Amino acid sequence: MDQSSVALEVEHLSRSYGSRHAVSDLSFDVRPGEVVGFLGPNGAGKTTTIRMCLNLIRPTSGSVRIFGVAGGNAEALSRVGCLIESPAVLPFLSGRDNLEFLRRARGGLESTAVARALTTVGLVDRAQDRVRTYSLGMRQRLGLALALLSNPDLLILDEPANGLDPAGIVGMRDLLRRLAADGKAILVSSHVLSEVEETCDRVVIINRGRLVREGAMRDLLGGSGLFAVRVSPPDKALAEVRGHGWGATAKLRDGLLITPSPTGQARDLSDFLFHAGLIPEMITEDRHELEEIFLKLTHEEATK
């Protein structure tokens, strides 16, 4: 593997607490310019993994490399910005002063870093207000500003949409996509699966500390081989399709006909329905939903 093209490499990572295996033989990577969703049910080992990536917990075995350098290296960690659970802020200070305090404590950051971070997360208008007056969503945005203060190359974010309203969630999605377009590598853990589906290029799904699925979002959601058809009346269309061997698995779902095509092509399915006297109003590929896949994979793993 070309280390220069990998921002974060997790290789055979394990962490045990006595006889309990919090993380077991976990491997994945994150590359510059992509957003990777890190998913799993509560207790799956996500936070433990993130803490090992940040050298806050030492692994029992395995390794973490950041841009090709061992994860415990101070220079490598200086290229990482993180938001883990609730951001650590001083509530009696303003948002700007919290950022200024961190800038001076870290040293080596230009004086414009605070203004840049506030602008990036959209907190300029409330920058002078004390953090104790902030809503949960605003505190979350301030936490992201703290993570972005040093203009890091790798972002590791644990539930960044926590406390955000719908508009804030969309704004977070757009921000992460912009940061990735600028070349940053982003690992994001989230329970908001609809946003993960919209935001992430790849997903890593774990359960009970083990990898259960990793892949590109487009590959994970596509490829069912079925089509969703809006046609009236749907029950007649279902009977017509099921009268042929290729359509034996067809079904109705939420008023739509979910069916294969005689040849695998949408146009041939449309022709079949047309010649049966049924005019389809819409034919689209029937895509999986991330929530459906997530629940299926984690349930299967839990029953093994």
Q: What distance in Å separates the CA atoms of residue 237 and residue 252, rounded to the nearest whole number?
A: 10
Alpha helices of 60-192 — where are they, by DSSP H? 74-77, 95-106, 113-121, 136-148, 166-181
pLDDT at residue 1 above 50? no
pLDDT in tens, 284-300: 888 777 887 888 888 76
Sorting pLDDT into bands at 50, 70 and 90, what band is 2? very low
pLDDT in tens, 19-37: 999 999 999 999 999 999 9
Q: What distance in Å separates the CA atoms of residue 55 and residue 49, rounded to the nearest whole number?
A: 10
**Residue carrying the six token digits 């029992």:** 60
Cβ atoms of 98 and 131 closer than 8 Å: yes
Question: What pLDDT is recorded for position 214?
Answer: 93
pTM: 0.80
In the chain, where the domains are located: 3-221, 227-285
What 3-state class would DSSP assign to 210? strand
From start to end of 160-254, where are the E strands?
A: 185-189, 202-207, 210-216, 227-230, 251-253
Q: What distance in Å separates the CA atoms of residue 273 and residue 199, rounded to the nearest whole number?
A: 36
Rounded to an integer, the average pLDDT of 183-209 is 92
**Residue carrying the six token digits 């605070």:** 114
Rounded to an integer, the average pLDDT of 261-283 is 93
Distances (CA, A) of 78 to 22, 88, 143, 153, 249: 27, 18, 17, 9, 54
Which CATH architecture does the domain made up of 3-221 adopt? 3-Layer(aba) Sandwich (3.40)
**CA torsion angle for 168, 172, 173, 177 (degrees, to 10)?**
150
Residue 193 has what DSSP assignment? H
**Residue carrying the six token digits 């609730």:** 86
pLDDT in tens, 198-242: 899 999 999 999 999 999 988 887 766 789 999 999 999 999 999
Question: What pLDDT is recorded for position 4?
Answer: 54
| Beta-strand pair 20-30/185-189 | unpaired
